Amino acid sequence: MAMMAESEPGFGLVVAGHVDHGKSTLIGRLLYELDALPPEARARVEAASTRRGRPLEWAFLLDAFQAERDQGVTIDSSRVRFHHDGQSYRIIDAPGHREFITNMVAGAADADAALLLVDAADGVREQTRRHASLLHLLGLSQIIVVVNKMDLVNHDQSRFAAIADEVRSYLGELGLTPLTVVPVAAATGANVTQPAATLAWHHGDTVLSALARLTAKPSLADQPFRLPVQHVYRVGERRLLAGRVTSGKIKRGDPVVLSPSNRLSAVAAVETWPPETSPAEAMAGQSIALELTDDLFVERGEVVSHEADAPMETNVFAARLVWLGQRPLEAGDGLTIKLGTARHPVIVEAVRARIDPDTLARDAGGIVSRHGIAEVLLRTPAMAVVEMAGGPPALARFVLLDGFDVVAGGTVDMHDYPDQRLSITRRSSNLTPVLHKVTADMRVRQKGHQGGVLWFTGLSGSGKSTLAIALEQALFRRGYHVYVLDGDNVRAGLNSNLGFTPEDRAENIRRVGEVAALFADAGEIVISAFISPYRADRERARQAAGSRFHEVHLSTDVTVCEERDPKGLYARARRGEIADFTGISAPYEAPDSAELVLDTASASIDHCLETLVEYVTTRFRLDSRSD
């Protein structure tokens, strides 16, 4: 048995649990029994134990800091690599003490599976539950539960069964099922690698046999190619994009896309260090430099990928995080988010829920205190490059910084939000604008009013369609050239190929925004009656129409809309019959500064209609007369 070279990736296994439940001791004993310790390492452990007048302390192998040996506390995330039965492992000993939870998160973020330790005498503690929640937060679904120190409870089977039931119940509430639960006495070696007579009543796994049952994730080399750019170097006339390949493979000649700039190029050369050779291909784990066929200006933080399986781009996403800052987290806080090698300013737009790690109870947001777990909504001013959990991992996890301090770690959740790449990518080229002989002023003089877009946005049941149709009639009677765009006349034709995924919703609104802008350019008043839940999509519609765009927010509360529910949609959504229903199971982002805000809960339809007609008259008509 041999220790692994540091460069080998291996199967990442984090060992977590409450402080002093025996994590380091279990790892040390496992390595000893597998003969995975170099002689000098064993000698150091024996010497350290002798100096302190203690029996052989295998925890000293992992507890590298003097402070840890003196206090019996693991501070950093120690890592040991070894081979067994053809499998390579990276064992990560994560700190159990509450004050070192930042290091625990850092260690677990690099793992593929987890050993969760519970002291048989001490039982399930706060940090046991907190660590389980963090493992779930970081996307670890393969968990082996180890009930350690069975020697302290006289190897009692009933004690083991009670703890196993409690842990299974808690993990079940997280949606996790442990691979197995193993009784162990790490100090004596019982059930670490071999069954023990003292635990003869246990007919299941040892720790070692449980490790053999873990399923390795797909190799990073087999996942989509990602190279977050760390540095850009100029070597003579060449521009080299340097970084570490976090997943996938790349070779000379491959077409690539840079995100979030969405510029296309191809790989002219792959460089490694030392530079004697230029390999034809590089893969996950290698630090390389790419030369592109085009001399593009590229900055740190861009991500190089193949165009066919590029990462997602967004300026808003949900996230689940653990807050590590000294001061509480609340909505409106401005921080810095680190995704791969990129850093962006970020605003905590909302704290959607706080999660009690002990009970898993959720409450509706508020202030998140230190070590709290929360679901939040994050927004960046520019496009950020992200991944869904379960995809290439480098961009699915993030940290938040306050100045230079790490104050949170979390995972990206894009289930309710669209990939905005398609909405911001322009593929048309060689376009020549048509010079109309009919000018905008000529259209205004003919029609007697300006063209424009009245963009109604609000929840289902807020009155958008009712008001849009009523306004169309009222304006038509007054001589306006007006037309309503809504789901019925758009989705039946122009957008008949679109469904209701976040991406299809975004594309639906993008097309509507462009059509509405053309109507406005032709001198028409177009009324758009769509939920249009995403703020970024409405901003693109505003950009398309320019100064002709007028956002009308029907701010009616979801409880009022649900009480109306004329089509029974809310009721069906509550029963789970309609997925991704805005306001229930999908988000609605209210406007920040709409030109007009109407609440049909506090004002009648007639009053709202009167307000709208007056708004149009004062802003669109060439004179102020109301016909």
> Which amino acid is present at 157?
Q
Written as one letter, the residue type at 207 is V
- Report yes or no: 44 and 81 within 8 Å, Cβ to Cβ: no
The per-residue DSSP string of 520-576 comes to HHTT-EEEEE-----HHHHHHHHHHHGGGEEEEEE---HHHHHHH-TTSHHHHHHTT
Measure the CA–CA gap between 448 and 481, rounded to whole angstroms.
Answer: 9
Whole-Å CA distances, 496 to 229, 466, 487, 499: 40, 23, 10, 8
Instruction: Identify the three-state secondary structure at position 447.
Output: helix
Residue 169 annotated as catalytic: no
Length of the chain: 627
Q: How many CA atoms lie within 13 A of 478 on its CB side?
A: 22
Side-chain half-sphere exposure of 9, counting CA atoms within 13 A: 17
CB 217 within 8 A of CB 391: no
| Cα-based torsion angle of the residue sequence 377, 381, 386, 389 in order, rounded to the nearest 10 degrees | 0
Using omega within 30 degrees of 0 as the cis cutoff, is the peptide bond preceding 433 cis?
no
> By three-state DSSP, how is residue 488 classified?
helix
CA-to-CA dists, residue 239 to 232, 293, 550, angstroms: 7, 10, 45
What is the C-alpha separation between 378 and 371, in angstroms, rounded? 19
Tokens (6 digits) for 357? 């790690």
- Residue 41, token pair as written in the block: 């390492």
State the DSSP string of 129-173: HHHHHHHHHTT---EEEEEE-GGGGTT-HHHHHHHHHHHHHHHHH
SS3 for 237-289, per residue?
CEEEEEEECCECEEECCCEEEEECCCEEEEEEEEECCCCCCCCCEEECCCEEE
> How would you class 245 by CB atoms within 10 Å of its CB: exposed for 0-12, middle for 13-18, buried for 19 or more?
buried
Alpha carbons 151 and 168: distance in angstroms, whole number: 22
Q: Count CB atoms within 10 A of the CB of residue 308.
A: 8
Measured CA to CA, the distance from residue 627 to residue 543 in angstroms comes to: 32
Beta partners for residue 597, in sequence order: 553
Question: DSSP character for 393?
Answer: G
Q: Is residue 342 within 8 Å of 385, Cβ to Cβ?
A: yes
Of residues 532, 547, 585, 626, which has the active-site annotation? 532
Per-residue DSSP letter, 384: E
Strand partners, 399: 338, 409
Residues labelled catalytic: 532
